[in-house]
Amino acid sequence: MRPEVHLRPDRLRRHAAAADQLADALLSALLGPGRPVLAGPADDELARLETGARRAIGELAEMASVLRSAASAAESADTATAGALGRILP
Amino acid sequence: MTGPDPPSAVDHEPARWWCGALATALRDAAIEAGGIAGGITQDWLDDRGREWAERAERVARELVRDAEAAEDLAGALAREAGGPGGSVASSGGPGASGLPGAAQVAAALAAAGALRPGARLGGTEATRVDDERGIRIAQLPDQGADGG
Look up the ipTM and state it. 0.82
- Backbone phi, psi, residue B118, to 5°: 100, 180
The pLDDT value given to residue B84 = 53
Give the confidence band of A69 by pLDDT, cuts at 50, 70, 90: very high
Interface test with B, best of A49, A55, A57, A68 (most B CBs within 10 A): A49
- Cβ neighbourhood burial of B34 (10 Å; 0-12, 13-18, 19+): buried
A8 — contact with chain B (CB < 8 Å)?
A: yes
The pLDDT value given to residue B97 = 37
Asked whether the beta carbons of B145 and B72 are under 8 A apart, the reply is no
Average pLDDT of the segment spanning B23-44: 95
DSSP B8: P
Average pLDDT of the segment spanning A26-37: 85
Average pLDDT of the segment spanning B65-84: 85
Q: Check pLDDT > 60 for residue B87.
A: no
A67 — contact with chain B (CB < 8 Å)?
A: yes
What distance in Å separates the CA atoms of residue B68 and residue A45, rounded to the nearest whole number?
Answer: 12
**Mean pLDDT for all residues in chain A:** 87
Of the candidates B15, B45, B55, the beta carbon closest to that of A38 is on B15
Average pLDDT of the segment spanning A78-89: 76
The pLDDT value given to residue A2 = 53
Share of chain A above pLDDT 70, in %: 93
Q: Check pLDDT > 50 for residue A1.
A: no
The pLDDT value given to residue B91 = 41
Share of chain B above pLDDT 70, in %: 53
What distance in Å separates the CA atoms of residue B38 and residue B108, rounded to the nearest whole number?
Answer: 8
Angstroms from A77 CA to nearest CA on chain B: 14
**Mean pLDDT for all residues in chain B:** 73
Give the confidence band of A5 by pLDDT, cuts at 50, 70, 90: low
A32 — contact with chain B (CB < 8 Å)?
A: yes
Tell whether pTM > 0.80. Answer: no
- Helix (H) or strand (E) holding A30, with range, is helix A9-31
Are the beta carbons of B36 and A22 separated by less than 8 Å?
yes
Share of chain A above pLDDT 90, in %: 52
Q: Check pLDDT > 60 for residue B94.
A: no
Give the confidence band of B79 by pLDDT, cuts at 50, 70, 90: confident
DSSP A34: T
| Minimum CA–CA partner of B59 in chain A | A56
Identify the sign of the CA torsion B78, B70, A43, A31: negative
